[in-house]
Amino acid sequence: MPRKTPLEMTRNIGIMAHIDAGKTTTTERILLYTGKIHRAGEVHEGAATMDYMEQERERGITITSAATTTYWHDCRINIIDTPGHVDFTVEVERSLRVLDGAVAVFCAKGGVESQSETVWHQAERYHVPRIAYVNKMDIVGADFFNVMDMMRERLGANPVALQLPIGSEADFRGVIDLVRMCAEVYYDDDGFDIRNEPIPSEYLEKAEQYRTALIEAVADESDELMELYLAGEPIPEDLLRSAIRSATINNNAVPTCCGSSYRNKGVQPLMDAIVDYLPSPLDLPPIEATSRDGKKTIEVTADDSAPFAALAFKIVTDSFVGKLAFCRVYAGSLKVGSVVYNANKGKRERVTKLLLMHADSRTELDEVYAGDIAAFVGLRETVTVETLCSEGKPLLMESMDFPEPVIRIAIESKTKAGQQKLSDALAKLAEEDPTFRSYSDEETGQTILAGMGELHLDIIVDRLIREFKVECRVGKPQVAYRESITKTVRTVGSYIRQNAGKGVYGHCAVEFAPGAPGSGFVFENAVPPSVLPPEYVKAVEEGIREASRSGSLGGYEVVDFSAKLVDGSVNELESCELAYKIAGSLAFREACEKGGSVLLEPFMKCEIVVPDEFLGDVMGNITARRGRIDGVEMRAGGQQCINALCPLSEMFGYATDLRSRTQGRGSFTMHFERYEEVPAQLAEKIIAQHKAEEEE
């Protein structure tokens, strides 16, 4: 069955922004005006189509990215609505990994906020072309031009206005189209009665100014346009659109629109911009993949006749069909019942169903093609960011690095019978979410959940209770401390034993040194194979790696150090891999004792927005929490934005404290920045408390 929509008329886009900028509301309006839904659901009412999880509707936030497909001007638009909360930033990351373009939504009052910066730089990492949409032009303090200035200053972007607002705040009534040089004025509250009118005289001068700026910003994309502009000749609309499209796809400019999604103004022009300026799969260069051995580069071109290649970017457990693997098809086509090859694991898998998703509803497909985003059913082995391809043409696409969890809680089943149920549920949740970890504490026997923040773990526990029907007891959130060494030391690991007349021999010398923050564990071998065979070298590395999961101070994971294997010896009759693994762990234990071990704690980058009159009190409170204030910025509407670096251990319950200090008018966001050394006196208390808890 041939594809219904040509590839050049396909758009794979994401909606991304800071929390509360209006991503989901914008997506709902897009679905309304394209006829996908007949009534837009409101986030604050818990009725948004794209927020289908119970937790999303109760809390009024997006937790998981949701996919849908709709049509505008004969163009197929595959949309992924992403979360704005920093705890779920991995959802944005893995969505951007497979998208061709993105709409960055900014609040007209808040402008570029902390999570806006995070998602913007995530998009930059994958070279995703973007258009900007300045939302909430109807609220007090809305300033379209200030947002564009903030984009230049904070993001290093080149925003180019496609539209200018007509009015602002309560008087916002439409936009000026700088490409067609006309006004689009809204005459009803539903966004359907839009009339093209001449530009109001009071806006004409500014419109001319910004149209000139638009032409100048994209003139380098077209010699013909440049010649017409220099000659003072009129520029055809089609030529200007083509130049804007080229500048967008090349990431030389960010076309910027404005509107108020909640008030149903500005969404249709935004959809026009998506179709006109964001790329199809054909507009982008081929994806670079490698052979399974990593030695050969393979180009993956968007072509239905090419060998099949797709990337699984998201795993979801569905109560009806089981495991769903959301996949972006980059090349080739695939029919239901076909066998695909998981290149990461070297295993064949059969696709039993293909589903086109609309939030949590689904339509079965017979076949998928290059450029499609669909859910595959039947993949037992496949997990996030693994490559699916033709067995005869194996290849590996670039994977992703996921951040390490910074907060943890202990959990236990209320009944013995429920323990297996808990383990199964945790395994499914870990498969869905690469930033979530669950493990058993070897010393206490407790099951530990680790995640990106309090909200992240709160949602995990809530899902355990509601979706998986697990009855459990949950401990208080705890900081995920780390340990590291501060001195370079050389240690010897020796494991020589006689057991029932049979000897066991493992011996190595290792030089341990502190590493740069964020470097993790780096292993280097300086011993030739003639002295120590590769299998014993690998065993030493594994022994060190496993031992590093529990340090000497408080049993926390040891990070940011290097281990250089400098010597070793072999007993041909008694040496074995297990002995060298133990020897490596013994060398590491000695290094922790001699290497000046220190305790590290996660520091969070915080952005706190408060009214002017509460600034002093809030800053004093941040300092009292061992925070360091990096600067204060003036925001619209008498608001001050405090940028600070704060230890996570001091930020539990801060949301409540901030609300009480600011009469409910303050807000804040934070995300993990780096680990820093804990002050010595405080470290002693933490270690002593940890040991006391273990003894209990």
Residue 542 carries which side chain, given as an amino acid letter?
E
**Bridge partners of residue 159, in order along the sequence:** 254
Q: Which among 366, 361, 359 is positioned nearest to 68, based on CA atoms? A: 359
How far is it, in rounded angstroms, from Cα 267 to Cα 257?
Answer: 9
Q: Which among 423, 428, 425, 420 is positioned nearest to 439, based on CA atoms? A: 423
**Bridge partners of residue 258, in order along the sequence:** 134
The burial of 655, by beta-carbon neighbours within 10 Å (0-12 exposed, 13-18 middle, 19 or more buried), is given as middle
Q: Which among 500, 526, 507, 528 is positioned nearest to 576, based on CA atoms? A: 507
pLDDT digits (tens, 9 = 90+) for 158-191: 999 999 999 988 899 999 999 999 999 998 888 8
* pLDDT(501) > 80: no
* pLDDT(1) > 60: no
* Count of residues in the chain: 696
Strands 478-479 and 373-377 turn out to be unpaired
Question: Do the beta carbons of residue 172 and residue 165 sit within 8 Å?
Answer: yes
Q: Which among 122, 116, 120, 164 is positioned nearest to 144, based on CA atoms? A: 164
Question: Do the beta carbons of residue 217 and residue 243 sit within 8 Å?
Answer: no
pLDDT digits (tens, 9 = 90+) for 223-276: 999 999 899 899 999 999 999 999 999 999 999 999 999 999 999 999 999 999
pLDDT digits (tens, 9 = 90+) for 526-572: 999 999 999 999 999 999 999 998 898 988 899 999 999 999 999 98
**Bridge partners of residue 575, in order along the sequence:** 505
How far is it, in rounded angstroms, from Cα 236 to Cα 606?
Answer: 47
* pLDDT(630) > 90: yes
DSSP state letters, 570-639:
--TTTB-HHHHHHHHHHHHHHHHHHTT-EEEEEEEEEEEEEEGGGHHHHHHHHHHTT-EEEEEEEETTTE
Question: Which pair of tokens denotes residue 82?
Answer: 């992403």
Torsion angle (degrees, nearest 10) of CA 197, 198, 202, 204:
130
How far is it, in rounded angstroms, from Cα 279 to Cα 492?
Answer: 58
pLDDT value of residue 45: 42
Question: Do the beta carbons of residue 597 and residue 552 sit within 8 Å?
Answer: yes
Q: In what order do the strands lie in the sheet with 297-300?
A: 297-300, 287-290, 396-397
Q: Which among 579, 560, 561, 559 is positioned nearest to 569, based on CA atoms? A: 579
